[in-house]
Amino acid sequence: METGVYIVGTPIGNLEDITARALRTLREANVIMAEDTRHTGILLARYEIRTPMVSCHKFNEARRFERIQSEFAQGRSIALVTDAGMPGISDPGARTVRMCREAGIPVWVIPGPCAASAAVSLSGMGDAGYHFEGFLPHKSGGRRRRLEELSHEPVPVVFYESPYRLIKLMNEIEQFVGPRQIFVGRELTKKFEEGISGTPAEIRASFEKRTVKGELVVIMAPA
Ligand code: SAM
């Protein structure tokens, strides 16, 4: 392996969703920087990979760059992973990539699953492009402002959302955006994977008799 940083995509649920190149990179790297070493430990154990890990999350990402510089100076290779999907997509990693580029440290990508693109494919709404929004702000005022801006998007808008806020988001879309078709991709690639399409009221109705659980991607169709 050439010395530098490898941005490695990892599964978003199903541990079989990992490329041969990702596994080889994780096996051959000198060190793996992981958002949560316990979480990534499950993946490494499954594939009998014994590469040492150190944590690299949003609270120590800037400090961890010193470690990357020192590993690079010794001619070593570093793999960077997050808990799920692609690093730097609503996840730590983007800052590391920017700092590496500024410092002249080579960065490579080993593409893998991403919840947003998986949901767009499953929704059948992505043939004319889409806007990836990720997480909305938590505070009501900020959410309202952003949703009003996004109501003008001419393409579907992709959100990451917590199960605790799905019903709130359906109410907010009705109130601040107007009538829209929605797709919810839940627990993608996992045992209880589900794709639900409908108006915000229909999405709410489908969760009337059960608690909203698991991980969700919400896609809002254009007007
Ligand atoms: N970097 C990741 C990626 O490439 O998709 C996203 C990380 S972000 C912190 C986590 C969010 O992604 C979750 O809150 C959820 O909205 C979405 N997500 C991750 N895995 C998912 C899955 N299996 N099914 C549906 N949504 C998922």
Which pLDDT band holds residue 62 (cuts at 50, 70, 90)? confident
| Shortest-distance Cα residue to atom 2 of ligand 1 | 85
What integer pLDDT is reported at residue 179 of this predicted model?
A: 87
Note whether 32 and 52 are within 8 A (CB): yes
What integer pLDDT is reported at residue 223 of this predicted model?
A: 85
Those residues with Cβ within 8 angstroms of residue 34's Cβ, 6 or more apart along the chain or in another chain = 40, 53, 54, 55, 56, 81, 82
What pTM, to 2 d.p., does this model score?
0.96
State yes or no: pLDDT of 201 exceeds 90.
yes
Domain match, 99 and 165 both: no
Do you know the residue count of the chain? 223
Compute the mean pLDDT over every residue in the chain, rounded to the nearest whole number. 96
Ligand 1 pocket residue status of 10, Cβ below 6 Å: no
Ligand 1 pocket residue status of 160, Cβ below 6 Å: yes
28-45 pLDDT, tens digit each: 999 999 999 999 999 999
Which of 110, 139, 154 is the C-terminal boundary of a domain? 110
Domain match, 15 and 100 both: yes
- The CATH code of the domain that includes 206 is 3.30.950.10
Q: What percent of the chain has pLDDT over 90?
A: 95
Domain match, 72 and 121 both: no
Domain match, 95 and 121 both: no
What integer pLDDT is reported at residue 30 of this predicted model?
A: 98
CA distances from 99 to 2, 6, 87, 92 (A): 19, 14, 15, 13
Ligand 1 pocket residue status of 85, Cβ below 6 Å: yes
What integer pLDDT is reported at residue 32 of this predicted model?
A: 98
Residue indicated by tokens 């050439």: 2
Mutation choice for ligand 1 from 122, 216, 219, CB with most ligand atoms inside 8 A? 216
Its domain, for residue 199, covers 115-220
Which of 110, 136, 159 is the C-terminal boundary of a domain? 110
Within 10 angstroms of residue 204's Cβ, the number of other Cβ atoms is: 17
Return d(Cα 183, Cα 170) in angstroms, integer: 11
Mutation choice for ligand 1 from 57, 83, 90, 218, CB with most ligand atoms inside 8 A? 90
